[in-house]
A = this chain, B = another copy of it.
Amino acid sequence: MQEENFETNYLEDELELIPGLLEQKKFGEIKRILDDTNVADVAAYFEDEDEVSEKDLPVLYRLLGKEEAAEVFARLDSDTQSTLINILTDKELQQVLDDLFLDDTVDMIEEMPANVVARILRNTDAKTRYQINELLKYPDDSAGSMMTVEYVNIKKDMSVVEAISRVRKMAENSETINTIYVTENRKLIGICTIKELLIAENEDRIEDIMETNIITISTTDDQEDVAKMFNKYGFLAFPVVDKEERLVGIITVDDAMEVLQDENTEDITKMAAITSAEDTYFKTSTFSHAKNRIVWLLVLMLSSTLTGTIITKYEDAFAVVPLLVSFIPMLMDTGGNCGSQSSTLIIRGIALDEIEFGDIFKVIFKEFRVAILVGAVLAVVNGLRIYIMYDSMQMAIVVACSLVMTVIMAKLIGGVLPLLSKKMGLDPALMAAPLITTVVDTCSILIYFRIATEFFHIAS
């Protein structure tokens, strides 16, 4: 991704003029509007099928300046990229591939069908093709697949003025010049920010100003951990090294932000019991939407039949006291809500590295105290309501006692289960929804009928 392009302001009104100008074939005017619009906005405009038809897309794309074309291309979604590639001539495609940064090329290739990939590789030179193939070898979620190989490296015996001059020469083809890497026999021996370089005296030697305690990322690191490191250290780029500590690439902050956003979406959807989709809501087909949702719905549905079976066992109880049935939804809902409140806080804490398995007893103790407070308030409010509405002190006491116990049970389960799943190497967000709902539902019904049969002296 380009990280330093303050091209233009977003003039939405101007983009809206384009269809009219196309009809009048006023291409010069369109070119001016596209030049004046930021590449991110041009890309968003091209992607919008309501705005730009497939027929007009190549016409508009060819009106872009050479550099702008590559930047817009890098930001398009894979559908639009693939439409464009099919239209471009080999020469035009070569031009785009030349101007793209390698990480963007690799991102694109990963999404394309085989025949398009073949055409892309045919149109890159041997060295680039080699680099692309190397990058494609890294697993999808690894640091290796996020990195780019276009960075500035210098030698430790250079003077500051020599280093600045090298940076100036290499800047154009580097994704970032914010950090400059000092290498020796391909090994990373030091780093130096552009700011440090510019602050130093002309005659200073790199060796003396470079930082040698370096935080590096390994090619095999998980991309989520990488994103967290950006958050923690506030750096703009991290060097990526292989097993022999050789510098193989860099990862920049913009790519980390994307990963962070994607991971957050994944966590959020998982907690709502949805297999997360790769695409946006509208780009995901109806069938995929259904598929992503049905698995957990089936699991949850069958597990809630367990609750139903338990209820059936107590048929005699509610034959004697039919009012008992009325409070089932309230108890189950409250239990479920309490459980998901706790599990959500713990899952988020785990994701942000604030809570780990070793804290499990601290969590239990905290949730227990919270549950006592919450349960007491809910029990009093509901007990009073039932006493007033149904004039039954007995019923009020049964429901109030069940509520307190349900809340405690739900909060403990909600607090402990995510930590246990993490410990067992399972994804806490994924396990939370189905397991907690099932366990909490079952337990709340058991608690309720146990207390009720005791209290009303009903044989079960």
| B residues in contact with A139, CB < 8 Å | none
Q: Does A269 contact B (CB under 8 A)?
A: yes
CB distance from A103 to the nearest CB of B (A): 12
CB distance from A262 to the nearest CB of B (A): 10
Size bin of chain A's contact surface: 35 or more
Q: Are B301 and A333 in contact (CB under 8 A)?
A: yes
Q: Are B345 and A213 in contact (CB under 8 A)?
A: no
Q: Does A233 contact B (CB under 8 A)?
A: yes
Q: Does A123 contact B (CB under 8 A)?
A: no
| B residues in contact with A293, CB < 8 Å | 338, 341, 370, 374
| Interface SS of A by simple majority | helix
In chain A, positions 304-328 with a C-beta closer than 8 Å to chain B are 304-305, 307-309, 311-312, 315, 318-319, 322-323, 325-328
Q: Are A286 and B369 in contact (CB under 8 A)?
A: yes
User: A283 — nearest CB in chain B belongs to which residue?
Assistant: B354
Q: Are A193 and B4 in contact (CB under 8 A)?
A: yes
Q: Are B171 and A373 in contact (CB under 8 A)?
A: no
Q: Are B6 and A234 in contact (CB under 8 A)?
A: no
User: A288 — nearest CB in chain B belongs to which residue?
Assistant: B370
CB distance from A160 to the nearest CB of B (A): 10
| B residues in contact with A328, CB < 8 Å | 308, 311, 325, 328-329
Supply 16 further A-B pairs (C-beta < 8 A) apart from A5-B193, A274-B345: A2-B234, A6-B179, A167-B198, A168-B198, A171-B195, A236-B253, A260-B260, A261-B352, A272-B344, A281-B354, A289-B370, A290-B370, A304-B329, A308-B328, A312-B323, A336-B336
In the complex, 26 of the A-B residue pairs with CB atoms within 8 angstroms, ordered by the A residue number, are A3-B234, A6-B193, A177-B194, A177-B198, A234-B254, A236-B253, A261-B352, A264-B268, A272-B343, A274-B341, A274-B344, A274-B345, A280-B349, A281-B348, A286-B366, A286-B373, A294-B378, A300-B333, A301-B333, A302-B381, A307-B330, A308-B329, A309-B326, A318-B322, A328-B328, A328-B329
Task: Report which A residues bind B (CB closer than 8 A).
Answer: 1-10, 36, 38, 40, 44, 164, 167-168, 171-172, 176-179, 191, 193-196, 198-199, 211, 213-216, 230-236, 253-254, 257-258, 260-261, 264-265, 267-269, 271-274, 280-282, 286-287, 289-290, 293-294, 296-298, 300-302, 304-305, 307-309, 311-312, 315, 318-319, 322-323, 325-330, 332-334, 336-338, 340-341, 343-346, 348-349, 352, 354-355, 359, 362-363, 366, 369-370, 373-374, 377-378, 381-382, 385, 433, 437, 441, 445
